[in-house]
Structures are given as structure tokens and as C-alpha cells.
Structure 1
């Protein structure tokens, strides 16, 4: 077999500028410091403002920069570990769970969730199969680092009262879920786009890149609940410890912690 010579690929100008800017951030700017405006930066590096914007957007996506309304573009602080959801082997809402509930509704499960629950989406829609959808949020130092939708079918929590107030509904669902014997759980992680409501909670624009962590909870030989958690992709990173647990890291002033 002959040797194949690959044609050299020229690096895009904005990508090279991103590398130069990255080095400047390390050597010339402190955490939280506001960068000069686009006009000044473009003049300094001798590039068009469109090229500069591409480089800045890439650095923001990689978590090196933060853009804040009324402040400007600042150097992002170091990352700090935030473990994904509840500890392995425990239900959402168990003791030590760092999430807090912000509401709960009863509605048909989305088609993708119905499939994860082992139901046929078309049949479930026709039958009007309802699930309790608990919305939760995880706060850290006053900022939302993730949002979650926890889907619990009626059949998984048959002990719920027929009538529940908005205040007691989510707590009652979590309480009944924790009465079950958890057999196993599995998680999947993928890159997604922020939906309008999640984007609002995370202070991002709709369609912004996010990390989506989907967890299925199994009891009595079947999937009894599905959680879909959304994390900001520009400030979060996944790490895997020796035990197989995962950790989300989020920008904050504290030092980074390792997964356990």
C-alpha cells in the first residue's frame, strides 16, 4: 500500500487569534478583569472585528470568558466541582440531595420520555397517560448551575392523594418515590441546545449549547422515573473518577475538586 500524503490544512484566522488571546488571558489579565472593548482588541491584534468576535465566542464556549450585561467580557474564574444529581444508589429528593423543587405539573410525557419509560409514545398519547413532572433547580453561591425535569408516572407513585396543592405536589411525589426500593440507575450524557425555560433559569439564550444528563431509575424490574438535567456547556466539564462516578465542574471562585 502506498503512502498517502495529506494536504496541509490552513488554520482559520479566528482560531489562531483564539490561541493568542488565550495566552494573553493567562499572562496579562486577572480573574474577573474586564477586557478592552472590541474596537481596541481588534486594533491591537490587527484583525477585523468579525474575526475577533468569532475568537471571543469560542473562548466563551470553552469557559475562558464570561459575558455579562452591563459589565462586558470578563476573564472567567477557575472551575469548581458540582456532583451530578443525587449520590449513586439514591432517589431524587433523598437526604443530602442538593436540588430544590420549583414546581410540579401532571401532563402527558413527551415522546422521548415515554420511550425511556418503556412505553409506546403513540399508545401513551392516545391513552392520555399522565406523568408527574417535577421541575428542580440546583443553586450554587446564588447562581443556578443546572435545571432538571423529573418525570414520574402515576403508576410509580400510586399512594399519592387525588388532590394536591401546588405547594405540596412536588414534595409528595418525591416522598412516594423514595418509598420504593431502588434497584439500579443508568445515566447518559450528550450535548444539546437550551430550551427557552431552561435557558431562562441558566441565564443563557435559547439554543445555547448545554450538557444534558438523562438518568433512568429502575425499581421492581421496570423504569419508574426519568430525570433530564441540563447544565451550561460553556462553564461545565465532565470528569470520571476511579469509581465511575461523574462530576460536573462549574465556574466559580473556589478551586477545582476531583470526582469521587
Structure 2
């Protein structure tokens, strides 16, 4: 790769101009899955500081043009995968057609915001079911589903057999008990965030990578019975909401 000096652009920040030049290079010089040179080589090629280069690479990752993976480096990303998160696809956790895979489950104290959503005491443990969503052979989302233990007991029913100690079987047990409820509805919100260490490990990302965080509240019998916090890879996912359209990202 030859050396290219960026022309000074007075009307825009240097990293934005560099992003435009990099985009053209991705379209003409690289193919999907191909690794880019390291940051030192790229900075030298374009005659910019590495901080400026990182700003441009961060924006391209946010737009889904690049992927950063442990032990692989920065590669050209394939087109984003459309993931339907509308209620018609996510009617109830564990219901027929639910494509999430349960990987673990154990009691734990939920985050404060989730505890408020569940009307649980700040120090009250709830069942936490860990699940992943796999599309085209790749984990694209990780979810923590929070369910208060009291929700899993039906009034007037003999005490159910205790769940397995931990692990996927416990999670499937929780989901099966949840199916006994008649859902009233759900609401969800979407925000842009960055991957923490646990999510980064589950999704084969680097900590701090851009993600979409979808929080869902499930209601039954006039109360909140479960809450889910799902982390989607922003570099590979395009969230759709049925007739409500698509959640897209624009880099500023």
C-alpha cells in the first residue's frame, strides 16, 4: 500500500475526511473479512496521528463497515444482519419460535434500574437467565433475563420441585414456569452503548465496542413479571420492529 497524504480540509474535522478516504479504500482495495494493516501502518500511510486514525476507525465500526475481534484485529465487515425484535417475534421468553439459546442461570441481585422495574428490593436476588442469539453461525446478541422467584409460584399450587442448582437446565426450568403465566403485553427501549467485559466475551468483541442495548419489560396479571436486557452487536445487527421500521445508526 502506497503512502497518501490527506489534503487539509478547513470545512470538516480531519478524522471525518480520513473516514471518507478510508471508506473509498474499503470499497476498492479490500474484500469482506480481509484484515486491515495495523494502526501504525495506516497512520503512516495517511500521514495522520494515531488518535485521528482511531476516531475514523471508531466511526466506521459504528457504521458497521469494520469489525474488531480478539486475536484477529480489524477486518472489513459483512453487511449487517437484520434482526426482528418486534413483539410478533418476541411474544414471550421461551415461547414457541423463540430463537434465543439458554446458556446459564443463577440467582443474583439485579442492577438497581432492573430492580425498580421489577418492584424488587435493592438487595433481593432474582433468577437471572443468560441467553445468546446466534445468526448465521455467529453470536450477535447476549441477554440477561431477570425473573423474581415469587413470579414462578402459582397461588394455591403445591410447591413446585426445586430447580437445578445452576446452568442451562435451571434457565430452562425458569422459562418453563414463566410459560404458565398469561402475558398482558411488553414494552421496550433501545439505546446505543458500549460492550462491557462480560458482553464482549460472549459476543467475541473487544471491550468498549459499540452495541445496541434493548431493554424489555414483560407484564402479566397487571404487574411486571420479567425484565430483559439484551446487548446486540452494533457492527453486525440491524434491528427491525416489524411495521415500525428499522433502527439505524448515524455517526456524527
The two structures share one fold, judged by TM-score above 0.5: yes
**Secondary structure in structure 2 of the residue aligned to 1:183:** strand
User: Do the aligned residues in 2 keep the contact of 1:86 with 1:97 (CA within 8 Å)?
Assistant: no
Q: Does 99-108 or 55-64 show the bigger shift?
A: 55-64
| Distance change >3 Å, CA 170–CA 246, structure 1 → 2 | farther
1:214 to partner: Cα distance: 0.6
1:186-205 alignment to 2 at 5 Å? 186-205=187-206
TM-score, normalised to structure 1, is: 0.78
| Alignment gaps of 5+ in structure 2 | 1-9, 155-159
SS in 2 for 1:226: strand
Measured at CA, do residues 166 and 86 of structure 1 come closer, stay the same or move farther in structure 2, by a change above 3 Å?
farther
Q: Is the 8 A contact 1:62 1:235 kept in 2?
A: no
In structure 2, the partner of 1:234 is: 235
Structure 1 CA distance for aligned equivalents of residues 111 and 70 of structure 2? 34
Query: Which residue of the partner structure matches residue 75 of structure 2?
Result: 74
CA–CA distance in 1 between the matches of 2:99 and 2:186? 18
Q: What is the deviation of 1:76?
A: 1.3
1:140 maps onto 2:135 in alignment = yes
* Pair 57,247 (structure 1): closer, same or farther in 2 beyond 3 Å: closer
Cα separation, 1, equivalents of 2:17 and 2:133: 37
**How far apart, in 1, do the equivalents of 2:208 and 2:50 lie?**
24
Q: Corresponding residue for 1:152?
A: 147
Ranges in structure 1 where 5+ consecutive residues have no aligned partner: 1-8, 250-260
1:193·1:209 contact (CA, 8 Å) conserved in 2?
yes
**Counterparts in 2 of 1:132 and 1:86: CA distance versus 1, 3 Å:** farther
Query: 1:228–1:40: structure 2 CA closer, same or farther, 3 Å change rule?
Result: closer
Distance 1:43 1:140 in 2: 37
The answer to whether the 8 A contact 1:89-1:185 is kept is no
Please show how residues 15-164 of structure 1 align to structure 2 within 5 Å: 15-84=16-85, 87-88=88-89, 90-119=91-120, 124-125=121-122, 129-158=124-153, 160-164=160-164
C-alpha change, 1:236 and 1:201, in structure 2 (3 Å) is same
- Kindly state the Cα deviation for residue 70 of structure 1 after the two structures are TM-superposed: 4.8
Aligned position for 1:257: none
3-state SS of the aligned residue for 1:171?
Answer: helix
Equivalenced residues, count: 234
Find the residue that maps to 1:32 and give its secondary structure.
Answer: coil
Q: Tell me the residue number matched to 2:4.
A: none
Alignment RMSD (CA, Å): 2.7
